[in-house]
Amino acid sequence: MPEKETVLLTGGAGYIGSHIAVDLIDSGYNVVIADNFDNSSPEVIDRIEEITGVRPILYEIDVTNEEDLRQLFKENQIDSVIHLAGLKAVGESVELPLKYYSNNLNATLNLLKIMEEFGVNKIVFSSSATVYGVPETVPLTEDMPTSCTNPYGWTKLMGEQILTDAAKANEDLSVILLRYFNPVGAHKSGLIGEKPNGIPNNLMPYICDVAKGKRDHLSVFGNDYPTKDGTGVRDYIHILDLSSGHLKALEYAQDQKGVSVFNLGTGTGYSVLDIVNAFEKANNIKIPYEFTPRREGDVAECYADPKKALEILDWQAVHSLEEMCQDSWNWTQKTNS
Ligand code: UFG
């Protein structure tokens, strides 16, 4: 890596972005964050500084705003971009599809336009395992068919398509599409982690709320799936592993041209009850739960085949389920919400 490359991290104050910011700074990159704090807070920037001793440059802007983004590129010599900014609530995207399409797609289009203007050719894009739709078989490999069940997912798949077409038209462009499975856990310091607004949609934040006494029990959505215990199976990946995957992808983007796609998952599927049990054991806290009907749009099983990332990026997840549960809980205890 050339000395002190500068990386633009859109959505860099978010759950995933803040962990990547820490890893980038620790690895010697300059970090410029663009975030509108729609689903994050300025305090996160202080926390990143507290952990790393370096304060990332911050632009409180919306990536969909062309003039603001151009100004950022004028004022900083950006070498590459990790694009995470976007709306991500699956349920909300069904209620407000136009908001999701407009925001997520315009952010990507705008970013590509300004990158081209300034001759920036490397981009890592935050995609999602949701682009596999309802999997026909698991584990999922990157060449399996894609489709989506909600507008949020479509914005990820369309984002992949936009980037793919842009790379076809501009042979200097290097695009890495990363399909995340289910990120959980938090930084070991307990200073940054996931902070959902209101009632959590996702399993681990909900379990942490129950552990904290904010909610009296977990609703397990469905116990009649064709899985080992009837509950949904997912590929939970520690946020630190997800983050390290981005650094590997960024390194890879230096050498390749065109588009590459990688799953970021562990390759192991755990059921909802596995997670409840692991959390109870790791933290010695009882999590009361009740079975309720399936949640609309949920699939029975979704887990990665992570071999391609190992072979090509030399990346694999190393943090255990126990750590995922401990680190999620450590972070939850340290936050005041
Ligand atoms: N679940 C419960 N109770 C809850 C919350 C979740 O039983 O209160 C179950 C779900 O039914 C599912 C599992 O826990 O079986 C995981 O659910 P999450 O909501 O944590 O995660 P999803 O797999 O549904 O969705 C996540 C991201 C999406 C992304 C998708 C990609 O939230 O943004 O992975 O596969 F699109």
Domain presence at residue 218: no
Note the pLDDT of residue 3: 64
CA geometry: angle at 265 spanning 81 and 284, to 5°? 115
- Nearest Cα residue to atom 1 of ligand 1: 203
- Ligand 1 center from residue 202 Cα (angstroms): 5
Asked whether the beta carbons of 176 and 170 are under 8 A apart, the reply is: no
Ligand 1 atom nearest to CA at 89: 33
State both tokens at 46. Answer: 């202080």
Does residue 1 sit within a domain? no
In a domain, 125, yes or no: yes
Number of Cβ within a 10 Å radius of residue 199: 10
DSSP string computed for 187-214: -TTSSS----SSS--SHHHHHHHHHHTS
Is residue 295 a part of any domain in this protein?
Answer: no
Is 117 inside a domain boundary? Answer: yes
Residue 95 burial class via C-beta count within 10 angstroms: exposed 0-12, middle 13-18, buried 19 and up: exposed
Q: What is the pLDDT of residue 336?
A: 67
Euclidean distance between CA atoms 75 and 59, whole angstroms: 11
Overall pTM surpassing 0.95 (yes/no): yes
Name 217's Cβ contacts closer than 8 Å, sequence gap at least 6: 210, 287, 288, 289, 290
Residue 203, domain member (yes or no): no
Q: For residue 88, is it within any domain?
A: yes
Cα Rg, the chain, nearest whole Å: 19
Q: How many helices (DSSP H) and strands (DSSP E) are in the chain?
A: 12, 14
pLDDT, tens digit (0-9, with 9 covering 90-100), for 141-150: 999 999 999 9
> Among this protein's residues, is 101 annotated catalytic?
no
**Tokens coding 125:** 């894009």
CATH code at position 160: 3.40.50.720
Mutate to test the pocket of ligand 1, among 160, 295, 299, 302 (most ligand atoms within 8 A of CB): 295
Separation CA 193–CA 172 (nearest Å)? 35
What confidence score (pLDDT) does residue 248 get?
A: 98
Could you say which of 152, 180, 206, 303 is catalytic?
Answer: 152
Is 295 near ligand 1, meaning CB less than 6 Å away?
A: yes
Q: How distant, in Å, are the alpha carbons of 28, 51, 69, 107, 163 from that of 35?
A: 21, 19, 11, 12, 21
Q: Is residue 51 part of a domain?
A: yes
Whether 90 lines ligand 1, by a CB cut-off of 6 Å, is: yes
Closest residue by CA, ligand 1 atom 29: 130
d(CA 105, CA 95): 17
Domain assignment of residue 121, given as a range: 6-185+236-265
Instruction: Please give the pLDDT value at position 197.
Output: 84
CB 87 within 8 A of CB 97: no
Collapsing DSSP to helix, strand or coil, 275 comes out as helix
Number of structural domains found in the chain: 1
Per-position pLDDT tens, the chain of length 337:
446 899 999 999 999 999 999 999 999 999 999 999 999 999 999 999 999 999 999 999 999 999 999 999 999 999 999 999 999 999 999 999 999 999 999 999 999 999 999 999 999 999 999 999 999 999 999 999 999 999 999 999 999 999 999 999 999 999 999 999 999 999 999 999 999 888 999 999 999 999 999 999 999 999 999 999 999 999 999 999 999 999 999 999 998 999 999 999 999 999 999 999 999 999 999 999 999 999 999 999 999 999 999 999 999 999 999 999 999 999 999 986 6
Confidence at residue 4, expressed as pLDDT on a 0 to 100 scale:
82
DSSP symbols for 134-158: S-SSSSB-TTS--B-SSHHHHHHHH
Distance of CA 221 to CAs 32, 114, 208, 279, 297, Å? Answer: 40, 43, 17, 18, 11
CA distances 212 to 23, 45, 47, 205, 218, Å, are 29, 25, 22, 10, 12
